[in-house]
Amino acid sequence: MQYGINGVHITVVSKYDGIDTAVFSDLIGESFEFEYDNTIYTNGRAYWLDCYCRRWDIIRSNFGLSTRKLHLTLGNIKWHSIK
């Protein structure tokens, strides 16, 4: 397994939410407490943990976004052909 292009991270807002993520720029550098499940999930390529953050639920709803199950991306596997 290797780190993904964005490193280990929690996806809070994605391109599918239809909002310019620049509106969150004032939150850069802030710390947030979150809880996580200890079950590692995979789709065969990426690995993640489910996580929960009440503060992000509130922030998302303030921007008219639904609350969502968050996930902590751990890394991924790149497929290479064996020569």
Residue 83 in this model has a pLDDT that exceeds 50 = no
Q: Which comes out higher in pLDDT, residue 51 or 69?
A: 51
* Tokens (6 digits) for 62: 């303030």
pLDDT of 27 reads 86
**pLDDT per residue as tens digits for the range 5-38:** 778 888 888 888 888 888 888 888 889 999 999 9
Question: DSSP letters along 4-72, please?
Answer: -TT-SEEE-S-GGG-S-GGGGGGGTT-----EE-S--EESSSEEEEEEE-HHHHHHHHHTTPPP--EEE
| Contact indicator for 10, 70 with CB cutoff of 8 Å | yes
| pTM for the full predicted model | 0.72
